[in-house]
Structure 1
Amino acid sequence: MLRIGLSGGMGAGKSTVARALVERGAILVDGDAIAREVVAPGTPGLAALVSAFGAGILAADGSLNRPALAAVAFADDEARATLNGITHPLVGQRTAELIAAAPADAIVVQDIPLLVENRLGALMNLVVIVQADLPLRLRRLEEFRGISPADAMARIDVQATDDQRRAAADVLLDNNAGADDLLPQVDALWHERLVPFERNLRNRERAPRGAIRLVASDPAWPDAAERLRGRIALVCGAEARRIDHIGSTAVPGLAAEDVIDLQITVADWAAADGIADALAAAGFPRLDDIRADDPKPGTDPAAWEKRVHVNADPGRAVNVHVRVEGSPGQRFALEFRDWLRVDPAAREEYSAVERKAEAAAAGLTGSAAIAEYLAVEGPWFDEVYPRVLAWADTR
């Protein structure tokens, strides 16, 4: 089962996206619908709200008067916390029931208005955020939902900012131009990413990769790494002693292949092998043909053992290196990254090597490309290894 978290600011158009995904075959778990269901007349949820906020939040027929509730529940942080403390557990329980009832091969879209605010992204395989400019959202809310700009802003001001939503998004859908522009984006997302991702996830297979190509440094790489780190931390639990963003994409300003490299540090190989199934089930299948780094000259080859997991998601290339704490490979990955971060000359030297390696792998894909790339890069790493250790020892 592939779980997609869908969110966006009020009036951004996530309901339009949700409907479009359902039309293409997704199963929708609608957070707003569930939130209404758990406080319907006669439910314990509605009784708890009346107890907390008074009978003034009820309509004449005994149902919840949502504007009246909003007027008191969004008045201050304490009132909002009370509201969330009542409704969130009920919504969570009902959500879990609906997800458990979905088929194993389903693409489940969870429409969650407060996904970012409640930090639920790590529970999802992907987070999709629908975005639109604030003035446009306010006009839509007033025209189609009858919410005045003042009332809308009172709610928007206590929700996540656009920058926070962008940082949480694996996929951004732009809805400034309307449905004619939005729906092709949804169609491409469905066919090019969600369907193959679900298939790869179910079969525990890696997504294919193309040619090795360096691109300009992307300021979004740290956010992508943090989202992945959160998902991996959730499935590994205490077995992961630390999870770090390593490699070229962890060095600001450095051109790199668009691949996020993460390192999971574990206590021993029993722990590394123990998390393999959980990582595969979360979308990071293991490559059983890679069991070690290339040992550096003058070191014990057996000390360079590792495990490697990669991405099932065709839209985000990821390498997850699992190494034992204190091993030379674990230490070198961190110290090499930090050396590049602080030494401009080292970055320039490494960039030149990377460009030569890229040229050597030009026109190739898969294992052939990797072999040619490493044939250039490997000797340089052998040479630089003692330099990095010497630098690290002086810190």
Structure 2
Amino acid sequence: MLDPADIVRFSDTPAPEGASPWVGGAAPARDIEIVPPDPAWPERFAALETRIRAALGERVLALEHVGSTSVPGFAAKPIIDIDLTVADGADEPAYVPALEAAGFTLRVREPWWYGHRLLGADDPRAFVHVWSPDTPEPVRHVIFRDWLRGHPDDRAEYAAAKHAAAEAANAHGEDMMSYNDRKQDVIRAIYARAFRAAGLLG
């Protein structure tokens, strides 16, 4: 059971020396693209949700559309982010083969960071982030999503940060990880406001 301290405390644990999160030759993307909001994004999530639930059935404990494409009217990378909770994210044989048969590919394995796994799909473009129960990261994602949906000023601030981060990362030949680092301070500031409003911070 998560308590407020778990939710508000971020983990920036790096990969252990010599370890890589990337699976099967995958690598972080470059040439980051932020596009205008697409009204089809919710429909794409719904189609992906149907595929995931058909593949896993009762193994799906929770499934959420998160990230910028889950916020109506918000510019974003054209990739649907999904948080999937299963009984044990480390038990890859329990869900990875079924998802691979449904068109997803395991790309990231990070046992040192909340046990995170990531599977990608290309049609539509999507990232499925896999977590175990009582993991704080998917809880934070829902808080962030819902906060942005209701706070246009923070949407505008975050949109500006995303565009600036993408422009700088592309200009310097950086990858998606550097893009994420460039906008992290703005994200954390918005999280702090959302946490405080939810009574999670004093």
What is the TM-score normalised by the length of structure 1?
Answer: 0.41
Question: What CA distance in whole angstroms lies between the structure 2 residues aligned with 1:221 and 1:379?
Answer: 27
Who wins on radius of gyration, i.e. which is larger? 1
1:320 correspondence with 2:140: no
Per-residue displacement from partner, 1:117-170 (whole Å, max 9, x unpaired)?
A: xxxxxxxxxxxxxxxxxxxxxxxxxxxxxxxxxxxxxxxxxxxxxxxxxxxxxx
Q: Structure 2 matches for 1:125-144, cutoff 5 A?
A: none
Question: What CA distance in whole angstroms lies between the structure 2 residues aligned with 1:245 and 1:258?
Answer: 13
Question: What CA distance in whole angstroms lies between the structure 2 residues aligned with 1:205 and 1:371?
Answer: 16
C-alpha displacement of 1:205 = 8.5
**2:34 matched residue in structure 1:** 214
**1:345 matched residue in structure 2:** 153
Per-residue displacement from partner, 1:76-112 (whole Å, max 9, x unpaired)?
A: xxxxxxxxxxxxxxxxxxxxxxxxxxxxxxxxxxxxx
Q: Structure 2 matches for 1:1-395, cutoff 5 A?
A: 211-270=31-90, 274-288=94-108, 290-291=109-110, 304-311=114-121, 313=122, 315-362=123-170, 368-393=174-199
Contact between 1:308 and 1:319, CA under 8 Å: does it hold in 2?
yes
Contact between 1:211 and 1:364, CA under 8 Å: does it hold in 2?
no
SS in 2 for 1:253: coil
Per-residue displacement from partner, 1:260-308 (whole Å, max 9, x unpaired)?
A: 11110223335555201211221111124x416xxxxxxxxx6733111
C-alpha displacement of 1:210 = 6.0
Contact between 1:266 and 1:272, CA under 8 Å: does it hold in 2?
no
Contact between 1:261 and 1:319, CA under 8 Å: does it hold in 2?
yes
Which amino acid in 2 is paired with 1:307? R
- Aligned-pair identity (%): 33
Question: What CA distance in whole angstroms lies between the structure 2 residues aligned with 1:209 and 1:389?
Answer: 30
Contact between 2:29 and 2:175, CA under 8 Å: does it hold in 1?
no
More helix by share: 1
Contact between 2:66 and 2:81, CA under 8 Å: does it hold in 1?
yes
**1:169 matched residue in structure 2:** none
C-alpha displacement of 1:354 = 0.6
Provide the aligned C-alpha RMSD in A.
Answer: 2.7
SS in 2 for 1:283: coil
Contact between 1:205 and 1:285, CA under 8 Å: does it hold in 2?
no
What is the TM-score normalised by the length of structure 2?
Answer: 0.76
Which amino acid in 1 is paired with 2:110? R
Contact between 2:30 and 2:170, CA under 8 Å: does it hold in 1?
no
Question: What CA distance in whole angstroms lies between the structure 2 residues aligned with 1:360 and 1:283?
Answer: 33
SS in 2 for 1:269: coil
C-alpha displacement of 1:364 = 7.0
Q: 1:213 to 1:270 in 2, by over 3 A?
A: closer
Q: 1:364 to 1:267 in 2, by over 3 A?
A: farther
Q: 1:307 to 1:273 in 2, by over 3 A?
A: farther
Per-residue displacement from partner, 1:313-363 (whole Å, max 9, x unpaired)?
A: 3x4321111112331101001111111111111111111111111112225
